[in-house]
Amino acid sequence: MKICSIDIQGSEAMLCLLSMEDGLFSVHDCRQTRIPLQQDSDQEKVRKFQFTIAKLLEDYKIENVVIRGRLQKGKFAGSAVGFKMEAAIQLIDSLKVDILSAQEIKEQLKKNPLMTDVREVGLKKFQDGAFQTGYAWLNQQHYSKDD
């Protein structure tokens, strides 16, 4: 199963395409590794953001998306723009979207530590959050089947 994991930082969605087969991970090339939302108060810009993500995921035949969850309140809370981006992604009809909390990611990384750095698998440092999110989600899916 090939998935797209997303880490929303500020007004940009950082993307990473991953798959897992027989317990082995693969990182897939993607033509766009970050998608910004310009002027979140402009309805057409929000629609363009949503269309860009939907088209990219359609082109790569992605049906499952996992988004790194952010706190809704407190010192480290996500921004309003970020939550708007998250909603735009969740409302794409053809996708199944899950949100993985920081706690769930940390738990999966503790059970199944990463044996590589993002740069070693051909990703950029800014994709680290998306990579960890996808890695954790795929592990969670894989090991929950075995239970």
Q: How far apart are CA 119 and CA 128, in angstroms?
A: 9
pLDDT of 146 above 60: no
Q: What is the pLDDT of residue 95?
A: 93
- Cβ of 126: how many Cβ atoms within 10 Å? 14
Q: Quickly tell me which residue has 């996808």 as its tokens.
A: 134
Give the model's confidence band at 119: pLDDT under 50 very low, under 70 low, under 90 confident, else very high.
confident
Write the secondary structure of 53-115 as one string of H (helix), E (strand) and C (coil): HHHHHHHCCCCEEEEECCECCCCCECCHHHHHHHHHHHCCCCCEEEEECHHHHHHHHHHCCCC
Q: How far apart are CA 87 and CA 37, in angstroms?
A: 13
38-71 pLDDT tens trace: 899 999 999 999 999 999 999 999 989 999 998 7
Euclidean distance between the first and the last CA atom of the chain, given in angstroms as a whole number: 19
77-112 pLDDT tens trace: 667 788 999 999 999 998 999 999 999 999 999 998
The contacts of residue 43 (CB under 8 Å, 6+ apart) are none
- Global pTM? 0.90
Domains with residue ranges and CATH for the chain: 2-146 (3.30.420.10)
